[in-house]
Structure 1
């Protein structure tokens, strides 16, 4: 019997950040891959700006129509939002012709806790 913990694949509508604070213990290979994907997605300035626009939008969600003015074309905005969803950072819901985005539940707090210094 192995002590290796199998991590579930992130579903875009049921996201739970994966990892403990970096100061708690070394990350497993799977935890490191998942965490790197989140930070890699935020490593692009346009994606970081889109994530910030959604996170700071009134009511905690933003219509794509309200966040598309980031200096790139609409197809490029859609591409970047898709990458943020694939990384488990955003969820979305279609309402009529518009798509509304939310920061995945607890992702900001979990990322912050992960990077927290020793107490």
Structure 2
């Protein structure tokens, strides 16, 4: 269980969330509890699948999304532990 993030992790997450498409991707995955493939998410945007793959990779690299392989498909879920640790870090800035 992650209780605290180091400054490098916070920086990486902040950069990943600094793009409006990535914020929307996180919201879609969160609302659906998971998404399969980039196609599920890219239907919401007017972007090429390669661009969507890039955005999703950035979120995975920042540990915000977890990619689970299901057969030939990938299923994306929110990494709740990291998101909660990030929210706690941001909250600690205003105390």
Q: Which consecutive unaligned segments of at least 5 residues does structure 1 have?
A: 1-14, 20-30
- TM-score normalized with structure 1 length: 0.67
For these two proteins, the number of residue pairs brought into alignment is: 91
Say whether 1:61 aligns with 2:23.
no
Please tell me whether Structure 1 or Structure 2 has the larger radius of gyration of its CA atoms: 1
Aligned mates of 1:17, 1:77 — CA distance in 2: 30
| Residue 62 of structure 1, CA deviation | 1.2
Task: Give me the CA root mean square deviation.
Answer: 1.9
Q: How far did 1:66 drift?
A: 1.8
Contact 1:37–1:87 (CA<8 Å) still a contact in 2? yes
Question: Partners in 2 of 1:34 and 1:107 — Cα distance?
Answer: 9
Matches for 1:16-95 after TM superposition, within 5 Å: 16=2, 18-19=4-5, 31-57=6-32, 60-64=33-37, 65-69=39-43, 70-95=45-70
Greater CA deviation, 69-78 or 96-105? 96-105
Q: Which runs of 5+ in 2 are unaligned?
A: none
Higher helix share: 2
Q: Which runs of 4+ in 1 moved over 2 A?
A: 15-19
Q: TM-score, normalization: structure 2?
A: 0.81
